[in-house]
A and B are shown apart, each in its own frame.
Chain A
Amino acid sequence: MTIAALEINQLDFSYGKKQVLHGLTFNVEVGQCSFLLGPNGAGKSTLFSLITRLYDQDKNNIRLAGIDIKAQPLKALAQLGVVFQQTTLDLDLSVKQNLLYHAALQGISRKKAKILIQQQLEQLDMFERQNELVRLLNGGHRRRVEIARALMHQPKLLLLDEPTVGLDIASRESIVTHVHELCKQTGLAVLWATHLMDEVLENDKIILIHQGRVKAEGTRAEIIQKTATESLSQAFITLTNSRGK
């Protein structure tokens, strides 16, 4: 039996008295590109903060590549690459310096880091710009650098929190294509939070959450069929009662 890249099992979470996640349960399998869909306030960012251990939880209900993040947080975090919604690059450093910093935090030697930086940046057509200050890059290129950074330590799971927001169509397409190729070619598992449904391809898994609960799970076709609608957008509106809101 293959171990799932991410297992979420009966996950509850509250901010004070306000419960925002209610028994969330789903898996992301190895090599699978999964999309987390849900309206604003559905609990997507909270879930990401729990997976990355920015927030703590009382029970052992998140596993990364079979490792319990509560019991073995450091070992679990080593399996994870993250691209946050906000840019988290240091604008005053160059692309290469940003990546070297990340490599150091992941325990990668400078010599090995330089090889990995070249590999990742070449895949994203950014190698020529490695010495440029991040401040001088446009939004699309910054995102590419963040993806390169998240993949440098060869994680088992890549978390993407709305990585294409604010990007032009070409930049979006390039990121969507690159991530899907990675899933196919390297077995990387991806959990991608988005509002942009055209980023979801036919065979991708969709986890639709609303008010902290999983409302539907499956491929685009399965969800459309389950809700007896004609498109994913319609299915989304039906499941989240969000028409006109």
Chain B
Amino acid sequence: MAHYWFALWGIVFRELFRFVKQKERFLSALVRPLVWLFVFAAGFRAALGIAIIPPYDTYIMYEVYITPGLIGMIQLFNGMQSSLSMVYDREMGSMRILLVSPLPRWFLLVSKLLAGVFVSILQVYVFLAIAWFYDIQPPVEGYLWILPALILTGLMLGALGLLLSAFIKQLENFAGVMNFVIFPMFFMSSALYPLWKLQESSQILYSIAKYNPFTQAVEFLRFALYGQINQEAALATILAFAIFLIIAIIGYNPSKGMMKRKG
């Protein structure tokens, strides 16, 4: 058991060291949601009025509405960043050191996932701290309530990244992931506008957004930030996490998935 514990900490610390050393990565992870908050939200505040919808019990500023979506965005990009680094590590060879260690592959992948989630949570709290000065001030207990939600949504979005990394053969193909996964996931969700607004424009878009795992993650985070549990969103997030993780583990199994070779 101690072996597993040492390995988990080793993987988490490595990810943390790398993150701290790569200051540009930390900065860009923060700048992206802050630009959305300070520029996009300010510009669209007037155009996109928000009615009173749960978990909010009064009219809110648009900036308040999109904050959970931007938290989801941090985790989504972090999940993709981890996946990119997995593909890079695989191409450069350093992934081999991980895969030849005497631990089950599922454990190594879950540890890598947890390391990524840990880093993403640090980013989220720094973002929330800055947002506080911009009058995004959820109840104090919300900062605590959101932690388990962040772990689950981070795991789900990280598992999606892991799944993609198992099936992306070359680093060059990663641009496609941005176009075909990140952007549709983000824009066809409740991150920027409530689902009822989307329904007014297009029933098809509404249906896609409703079943988009990212929508469920954002709603889970939105309620958690206000001390509430959105059970439907929580269950959908857990289910999506389980599905993505299982496929990723199959993808990394040497006798199955893309690592398969005939012997």
Q: Which A residues fall within an 8 A CB radius of B?
A: 12-16, 49-50, 52-59, 73-78, 80, 82, 84-90, 92-93, 97, 100-110
B101 adjacent to A106 (CB under 8 Å)? yes
Closest to B6 in A: A104
Tell me, in angstroms, the Cα distance from A76 to B101 when the chains sit together: 10
Tell me, in angstroms, the Cα distance from A75 to B103 when the chains sit together: 9
Tell me, in angstroms, the Cα distance from A52 to B98 when the chains sit together: 11
A-B CB contacts (within 8 Å), total count: 110
Q: Distance in Å from the Cβ of A73 to the closest Cβ of chain B? A: 8
Q: Which B residues fall within an 8 A CB radius of A?
A: 2-4, 6-7, 9-11, 13-14, 17-18, 21-22, 92-94, 96-104, 254-255, 259-263
Specify which chain B residues have a CB less than 8 angstroms from the CB of A78 in the assembled complex: 102
Known: A54-B254, A90-B94, A104-B7. A80 touches B261 (CB 8 A): no
Tell me, in angstroms, the Cα distance from A55 to B96 when the chains sit together: 11
Q: Distance in Å from the Cβ of A149 to the closest Cβ of chain B? A: 8
Give chain B's interface secondary structure class: helix
Specify which chain B residues have a CB less than 8 angstroms from the CB of A88 in the assembled complex: 92-94, 96-97
Specify which chain A residues have a CB less than 8 angstroms from the CB of B17 in the assembled complex: 92-93, 97
B263 adjacent to A89 (CB under 8 Å)? no
Closest to A51 in B: B100
A13 adjacent to B263 (CB under 8 Å)? yes
Known: A12-B263, A90-B18. A74 touches B102 (CB 8 A): yes
A57 adjacent to B92 (CB under 8 Å)? no
Specify which chain A residues have a CB less than 8 angstroms from the CB of B263 in the assembled complex: 12-14, 50, 55-59
Specify which chain A residues have a CB less than 8 angstroms from the CB of B259 in the assembled complex: 54-56
A108 adjacent to B6 (CB under 8 Å)? yes
Tell me, in angstroms, the Cα distance from A57 to B7 when the chains sit together: 27
Q: Supply 16 A–B pairs (Cβ within 8 Å), ascending by A.
A: A12-B263, A14-B262, A15-B261, A50-B263, A53-B99, A76-B102, A84-B96, A88-B93, A100-B13, A104-B7, A104-B10, A104-B11, A105-B10, A105-B11, A105-B101, A107-B7
